[in-house]
Chain A
Amino acid sequence: MKKITLPLTEEIIESLHAGESVLLSGPLLTARDCAHKRICEFLDRNEPLPFSFAGETIYYAGPCPAPPGKACGSCGPTTSARMDSFAPRLLRCGLKGMIGKGERDESVCDAIRQTHAVYFAAIGGAGALYGNAIRKSELVAFPDLLSEAVYRFEVVDFPCIVAIDCHGDSIY
């Protein structure tokens, strides 16, 4: 399986094709429903965000709390479609990668192609496996959102499938 080191570069993104399985290692940000809403509210108000997501990969996930001795609890992907109304805007602000589960709408597929980004599908339901691949976890923003807060993870060998690539191809 192809091993990819994050953050994504233009060359890596160019080389990825829908359908191939990859192992991702490096830094990720988490954000799901409520965090996306907040990020867009910051953008609406033209206020600086408490963190930058330019060049980053966002993992649509809300983890279980970390048990003793672990960086994170169970942490599989959530349904990406709920983030479709926010994603094109984030991509136009510099987001390069997204990881989640399930198909995306046309506006997201178009934005992925136009902004030269990529969408990876993680295997929904494999929370223990993904949680175990998270080696470091740090709270970045919105602690009041609990599991929906923004975290920065360091992951090792995160199994994913390239689902929608920058060339306009999709596995769905």
Chain B
Amino acid sequence: MRIIPSEKIENAVYELAKNACLHLTPACIHALQTAKAQEAPDSAAAFALDTLLKNAQTAADENMAVCQDTGYAVVLAEIGQDVHIEGKFFNDAICDGVRNAYRDFYFRKSICDPLTRVNTADNTPAAIHTELVSGDQIRLTFLPKGFGSENMSRLYMLTPAKGVNGILDSIVETVRLAGSKPCPPVYVGVGIGGTFDTCAFLAKKALTRDVGSRHPRADVADIETKALERINALHIGAQGFGGNTTALAVACEIAPTHIAGLPLAVNIQCHCVRCEKITL
């Protein structure tokens, strides 16, 4: 058994939140540069992509959040079963890390009661997903999730007969209906299989993969490739101004499902892909 003090978790979350909100991931910057090279230099899409790359630089130079929507603090925690956490309750340690980082680095507090709309004023609670794994380490992933794109996400309970074509049609439909609203070019996270709830989680988990990474299973990677081709044929383009890149990438995660169903969740992430990871 390995003892990990809660303070170490709290401090790690603090640093992850800071670094995530101030920077785009290197894979995201690379994808934006590639997208810019594929547009006519005087097009509105090129103007948008160029502005986004300049913005990433300004954020780094000025220590400002890349996007003002510093998001719902989504934390994925893989906890080794041989770990004993000493000190605070695990969820409190995470929320304290979020609270302190959002205060100290002047990030926006965006969390409110769904009915009264009263803001919690410290960006907590975080959305915490814990998974028990083997080993004696804790792996934390921090994803500040903006809601312009979250709002455009969809969940389908397809019939098994719909198969791969039904999956592709639904992914493309989600992006088409979202249009310019989620800040394209988007990153599309897809959960295939599981149950109503687990496929939504898989879609979120897919968004923590590097932009442009491929699923190890060939048939899943094939869905990623085909979906991306069809999405970019929509020509919604950067910011909906028209153009060749409507999505930077599609990432799918998969889980066994029931013989009667084919759950599919499509979670949209804007072009502002911010994600930080650490292993304790």
| CB neighbors of A among B135-149 (8 A) | 148
Beyond A67-B64, A147-B110, whether A126 also contacts B55 by CB under 8 A is: yes
| CB neighbors of A among B53-68 (8 A) | 54-56, 58-59, 62-68
Shortest C-beta distance, A109 to chain B (Å), equals: 14
* Tally of A-B Cβ pairs under 8 angstroms: 144
* Inter-chain contact B64/A64, CB cutoff 8 Å: yes
Provide the bound-state CA to CA distance between A101 and B179, in Å: 11
Residue B151 is within 8 A (CB to CB) of chain A in the complex: yes
* Inter-chain contact B109/A101, CB cutoff 8 Å: no
Q: Which residues of A contact B107 (CB under 8 A)?
A: 64-65, 73
* Inter-chain contact B272/A125, CB cutoff 8 Å: yes
Highest count of chain B CB atoms <10 Å: which of A21, A123, A172: A123
B: contact size bracket: 35 or more
Shortest C-beta distance, B175 to chain A (Å), equals: 14
Residue A78 is within 8 A (CB to CB) of chain B in the complex: yes
Q: Besides the contacts A73-B106, A101-B148, what 13 more A-B pairs have beta carbons closer than 8 Å?
A: A64-B107, A65-B106, A67-B63, A74-B59, A123-B51, A124-B270, A125-B66, A125-B270, A127-B59, A127-B68, A129-B51, A129-B54, A147-B110
Q: Would you list 21 pairs from A and B whose C-beta atoms are within 8 A, ordered by A residue?
A: A34-B117, A64-B70, A64-B106, A64-B108, A70-B64, A73-B68, A79-B148, A101-B180, A101-B181, A101-B239, A102-B180, A103-B180, A123-B47, A123-B52, A126-B52, A126-B55, A132-B58, A132-B62, A146-B121, A171-B240, A172-B240
Give chain A's interface residues, CB within 8 Å of chain B: 19, 21, 34, 61-67, 70, 73-76, 78-79, 81, 101-103, 121, 123-129, 131-132, 145-147, 159, 161, 171-172
